[in-house]
């Protein structure tokens, strides 16, 4: 409720709010979207409203409740893909008849991987168990678990819990269902917990802008993709690492980055922007602790598999090297609309797209160099989160693969980097809606699906939305007064030892005509 009858925003501006460095930002005063949404419940918060007196409903708990509601909606969105039916012989089977997984748009990698990775077998172990794929064909190859170590073990543990559940169900102690449905639900529970950790970490990192974490909680991308694959494990580790860094615990931050990289490799990308801001602020010792802890944590989790199960452990790297451009990549978009055969042309069985790998890697490194240039030449040292967002966005835009759930990587970083609610929700909605033409593209035109043009067109729109966010981030870096975080009087809430640190190294910006004028 308002608390009074006049517009509170007339009394509070960024200049006046910055006078109180401990005052929590009120979204209905600073965000037009929150202002409009508050109408049905009485309008913006009043200037004389009493805050922080409720015994239970703190902003963090409200954000976590919103996340629970969003995750519940996400589970119901996938639930159609774990329905079962009775076959002619009376046994139960997973109901994916008539391409239900695409028509109902409920597809999740978790469901087919239960059998594809041999997790349904009682005597298997990731990276030790192998099988032959496409036997008797030119594409025949020996396969192993295709995920990094922590994700592979996560799947295996959930499979063991599934076997225990089904055994208890057969004894009449628990309700029964198809093992794959039980496996999906157990996996979804832990993935939901990981997303709640992500929300919690963003809220604690944002500090005075704690309500920004509500965007992570209700993100349409979380509703659609929290249970599409296993990426919330990595987002929880990466967000936790940023929180640990903000609390001046670089070793813990590094350990969490290493753990996250053992689930999905992307958390290691955050070490790059962290190096840039530490170099500018003269805090390389803290960065060194983080990097060593990240390498140590990753090594502890991976070394046993590298030594004793090397062939199975290397499967993830082999597959990613041999993988061609995915439908979601800009390379495939260009190939489809122009007829271009790609950098490598047609590939044979097991042949890696070496030119595509080289070009995509070179483009990513070039953009990383550009981000480093921005970080070292900007008039004011950039905040850590915006540079992290730019690097991860650069990786996704230049990579040969952008699986739909990869967009979850950007959510916590975007909220911390560019907390503009309308822009963020617009991007999240666009990105989440790509799922619709994707599913109907996979359905196939012959089965009343969509042609590739529709799907690839939405991919382009998604990429443009991410580019727009990058432009907003760059604008805030070069105009700190426009940065919603710094406009309220903060420097870098996620910066830890970098917060309000003086510059130790600043490079002069490149001006093409400067040398000619000096001559």
The verdict on 224 and 153 lying in the same domain is yes
Contacts of 116 (CB under 8 A, 6+ apart): none
**DSSP track, 168-204:** HHHTTSS----HHHHHHHHHHHHHHHHHHHHHHHHHH
The verdict on 180 and 232 lying in the same domain is yes
Q: Longest Cα pair distance anywhere in the chain, in angstroms?
A: 89
The verdict on 12 and 62 lying in the same domain is no
pLDDT of residue 138: 78
Q: Does residue 216 contact residue 202 with C-beta atoms inside 8 Å? A: yes
Look up residue 47 and give its DSSP letter.
T
Domain that holds residue 251: 54-508
pLDDT of residue 8: 35
Handedness of CA 382, 386, 392, 397 (dihedral sign): negative
* Residue 201 to residue 425: CA distance in whole angstroms: 20
Contacts of 74 (CB under 8 A, 6+ apart): 222, 223, 224, 225, 226, 227
Q: Where are the beta strands (DSSP E) in 9-140?
A: 84-86, 92-94, 131-133
How many domains would you assign to the chain?
2
The verdict on 25 and 141 lying in the same domain is no
Q: Mean pLDDT per 10-residue run, the chain (519 residues)? A: 37 38 60 60 55 74 97 97 89 91 96 96 94 85 95 98 94 91 98 98 94 96 98 98 98 98 97 98 97 98 97 95 92 93 83 94 98 96 97 98 97 96 96 97 90 95 98 96 90 94 88 54
Helix %, strand %, coil % for the chain, to 5?
A: 65, 0, 35
Parallel, antiparallel or unpaired: strands 141-143 and 131-133: antiparallel
Question: Measured in whole angstroms, how far is the alpha carbon of residue 6 from the centre of its chain?
Answer: 41
The verdict on 105 and 13 lying in the same domain is no
* Residue 498 to residue 50: CA distance in whole angstroms: 34
pTM of the model: 0.91
Find the radius of gyration of the CA atoms of the chain.
Answer: 25
Please, which residues bridge with residue 141 across strands? 133
The verdict on 23 and 146 lying in the same domain is no
Tell me which H or E stretch contains 141: strand 141-143
Quickly list H helices, 99-249. 100-103, 110-116, 149-170, 179-206, 213-217, 220-225, 232-246
The answer as to whether 516 is a domain residue is no
The answer as to whether 513 is a domain residue is no
The verdict on 441 and 376 lying in the same domain is yes
The answer as to whether 514 is a domain residue is no
The verdict on 205 and 229 lying in the same domain is yes
């Amino acid at each position: 409720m308002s608390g009074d009858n006049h517009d509170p925003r007339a009394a509070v501006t960024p200049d006046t709010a910055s006078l109180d460095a401990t005052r929590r930002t009120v979204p209905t005063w600073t965000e037009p979207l929150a202002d409009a949404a508050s109408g049905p419940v009485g309008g913006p918060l009043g200037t004389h409203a009493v805050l922080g007196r409720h015994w239970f409903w703190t902003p963090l708990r409200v954000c976590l409740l919103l996340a629970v509601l969003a995750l519940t909606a996400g589970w119901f969105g996938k639930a159609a893909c774990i329905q079962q039916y009775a076959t002619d012989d009376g046994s139960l089977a997973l109901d994916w008849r008539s391409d239900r997984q695409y028509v109902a748009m409920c597809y999740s990698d978790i469901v087919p991987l239960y059998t594809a990775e041999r997790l349904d077998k009682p005597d298997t172990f990731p990276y030790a168990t192998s099988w032959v794929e496409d036997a008797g064909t030119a594409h025949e190859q020996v396969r192993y678990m295709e995920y990094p170590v922590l994700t592979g073990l996560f799947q295996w543990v959930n499979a063991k819990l599934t076997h225990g559940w089904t055994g208890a169900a057969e004894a009449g102690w628990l309700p029964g269902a198809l093992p794959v449905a039980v496996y999906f639900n157990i996996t979804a529970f832990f993935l939901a917990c990981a997303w709640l950790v992500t929300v919690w970490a963003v809220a604690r990192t944002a500090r005075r802008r704690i309500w920004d974490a509500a965007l992570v909680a209700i993100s349409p991308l979380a509703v659609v993709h929290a249970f599409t694959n296993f990426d919330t494990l990595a987002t929880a580790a990466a967000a936790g690492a940023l929180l640990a860094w903000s609390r001046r615990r670089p070793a813990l931050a590094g350990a969490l980055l290493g753990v996250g990289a053992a689930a999905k490799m992307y958390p290691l990308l955050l070490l790059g922007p962290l190096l840039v801001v530490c170099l500018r602020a003269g805090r390389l010792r803290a960065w060194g602790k983080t990097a060593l802890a990240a390498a140590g944590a990753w090594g502890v989790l991976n070394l046993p598999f590298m030594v004793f199960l090397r062939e199975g452990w290397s499967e993830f790297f082999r597959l990613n090297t041999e993988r061609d451009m995915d439908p979601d990549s800009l390379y495939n978009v260009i190939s489809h609309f122009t007829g271009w055969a790609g950098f490598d042309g047609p590939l044979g069985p097991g042949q890696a797209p070496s030119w595509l790998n080289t070009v995509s890697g070179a483009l990513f490194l070039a953009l990383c160099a550009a981000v480093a240039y921005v970080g070292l030449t900007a008039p004011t040292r950039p905040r850590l989160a915006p540079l992290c967002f730019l690097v991860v966005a650069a990786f996704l835009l230049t990579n040969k693969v952008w699986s739909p759930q990869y967009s979850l990587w950007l959510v916590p970083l975007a909220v911390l980097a560019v907390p503009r609610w309308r822009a963020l929700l617009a991007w999240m909605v666009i990105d989440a809606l790509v799922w619709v033409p994707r599913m109907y593209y996979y359905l196939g035109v012959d089965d009343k699906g969509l042609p590739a043009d529709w799907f690839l067109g939405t991919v382009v729109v998604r990429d443009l939305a991410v580019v727009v966010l990058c432009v907003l981030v760059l604008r805030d870096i070069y105009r700190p007064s426009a940065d919603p975080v710094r406009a309220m009087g903060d420097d870098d809430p996620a910066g830890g030892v970098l917060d309000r640190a003086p510059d130790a190294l600043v490079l002069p910006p490149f001006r093409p005509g400067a040398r000619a004028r000096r001559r």
